[in-house]
Structures are given as structure tokens and as C-alpha cells.
Amino acid sequence: MAAIEGFMEAMAERHACKRFDESKKIPEAQLRTLLEIGRLSPSSFGMEPWRFLVIRDKELKEKLRPLCWNQPQITECSELVVIKALVGPLAPGSAYPRNMLSRRDLPREKIEAYFKKYDDFSAERFGRGELACWSVKQCYIAAGNMMTGAMAMGIDSCAIEGFEKEKVEALLKMDVAKETLALIIAFGYRLKEPPARVRLPFDEIVSFR
Ligand SMILES: Cc1cc2nc3c(=O)[nH]c(=O)nc-3n(C[C@H](O)[C@H](O)[C@H](O)COP(=O)(O)O)c2cc1C
């Protein structure tokens, strides 16, 4: 009971923080907890396609900001986490999915059946040019968990996809055959209270049949 109350409190309290208090730093242990929340997140076929890059280099953050619509969160936050999504290694028949699926404690024939299922599934997405998008979707699940988890520790956040993707990838020297930029999240502490929350009414977005 207490757990759900705490969770709902974090859900209600979290907001997209636009200005961070630059004087406040996230304790290292809490940053690690945040990253751990990302690591423990669910992913389709258990592919864990996220890779988290924590950018602490001040100069790099300053170069990044103009490529992110000049958003102040990039340089004012306490910790900036770039979430990269694997793409190339997820291709059907690759070693990575085989290694990931082989970790399961299942009989060999079941593992082989999983390989086939994954290959068919990923080949279809690959054929439609949707493999990168599929990988990014998984990263967004981790991102959501991390932002709520952060709030449960009293840490504010802002998801940022307002960026020039190719330019950020080039700045971060990303191998785009291997991975694609999914999302950036700024974490820190609010400078001022957020505006009132706006959400559609429950009955407008939920239906039962
Ligand atoms: C995937 C994603 C990308 C976002 N990108 C930005 C961004 O680049 N800059 C920004 O200020 N807010 C960004 N936001 C925040 C949203 O605008 C915000 O979550 C939404 O308006 C609802 O407000 P709330 O989070 O304060 O409840 C992003 C949110 C998500 C989920």
C-alpha cells in the first residue's frame, strides 16, 4: 500500500523541469540508482538495447546545447544522460540477439525456437526499415522508469528530444551503423515550482469493451 502511494506521489510530482538549480548536485549513489532503474527496465525479447552515456565534460555540454535547440537544461542540470539505442547488433542472425537469448535457463530446443522467432520478428521490422525505431521504443520505457524513479528520490528531470539528431550523433562520435540517438534526459533539482499539470480527463483516454 505504502509503495503505491509513494509511486503515485512521484507520478504526480514529476514534471518536465525547464530550469535546474545549478548549485545542487545529485549524490553519486542516487545517480547510480537512476542508471540501475534503467538497467532493470523491461525490453522486447529482453534485448536491453539501451546504452547510457553520462556526459560530465563541461565543454562537451556547452557544444551540445546549441544542437539541442539551445535548451538551458543541457548545461544547467546536475547530470545529463544520453540514451543510445543499439541498431546494427539487433539485425536478424547477428551474434548479439543470440547471446542475449542464450542467457535464459531453457532447454536448447526452446532457445533455438527463440532464435527463429526473433529472426522472423526482426527481419520483418528490418525489412520495413523499422529496426532502429523498435530499439528506440525500448529505450523510452527505460527513460520513463528513470524519470519516475528519479522523482521518488526527489530528483527532477526533463526528457529532451528537441535536438538535431545527426549533429548530436556526430559530436558524440557515435557509430551510427551500430547505434542511434534515442533520447537525452537532464536530471537535477528544480529552480522554481512547475506550472499546474495539464492532462486529458481519464474518461477521454480510457475505454473498456
Ligand atoms: C520523449 C519526450 C521528449 C521531450 N522533449 C522535450 C524537450 O526537448 N524539451 C522540453 O522542454 N521538454 C521536452 N519534453 C517534455 C514534455 O513537453 C512534457 O513531458 C509534456 O509537456 C508534459 O508535461 P509534464 O511532463 O510537465 O507533465 C519531452 C517529453 C518526452 C516524453
pLDDT, the chain, mean? 96
- pLDDT mean over 39-58: 98
Task: For residue 176, report the distance from its CA to the centre of ligand 1, in Å.
Answer: 25
* Amino acid 97: pLDDT: 95
- pLDDT mean over 49-76: 98
What's the chain's Rg over C-alpha atoms?
19
**Whose CA is closest to atom 18 on ligand 1?**
16
Task: For residue 15, report the distance from its CA to the centre of ligand 1, in Å.
Answer: 8
Task: For residue 158, report the distance from its CA to the centre of ligand 1, in Å.
Answer: 6
* Amino acid 86: pLDDT: 98
CA distance 6 to 33: 17
CATH topology of domain 14-90+129-190: NADH Oxidase (3.40.109)
Task: For residue 86, report the distance from its CA to the centre of ligand 1, in Å.
Answer: 23
Task: For residue 191, report the distance from its CA to the centre of ligand 1, in Å.
Answer: 17
Q: What is the pLDDT of residues 134-175, one digit of tens each?
A: 999 999 999 999 999 999 999 999 999 999 999 999 999 999
Cell of 63: 557544444
**Whose CA is closest to atom 31 on ligand 1?**
159
Q: Please state the domain extents for the chain.
A: 14-90+129-190
* Amino acid 128: pLDDT: 87
- Residues having CB within 6 Å of any atom of ligand 1: 15-16, 18, 71, 158-162, 183, 197
Using 50, 70 and 90 to split pLDDT, how confident is the model at 19?
very high
Inform me whether the pLDDT recorded for 1 exceeds 60: no
* Amino acid 135: pLDDT: 97
- pLDDT mean over 60-67: 98
Q: What is the pLDDT of residues 83-134, one digit of tens each?
A: 999 999 999 999 999 999 999 899 999 999 999 999 999 999 888 889 999 9
- Nearest CA-CA partner of 43 in 114, 127, 139: 139
What atom of ligand 1 comes closest to residue 199's alpha carbon? 27
Q: Out of 65, 138, 161, give the residue to mutate to test ligand 1, the one with the largest number of ligand atoms within 8 Å of its CB.
A: 161
* Amino acid 188: pLDDT: 98
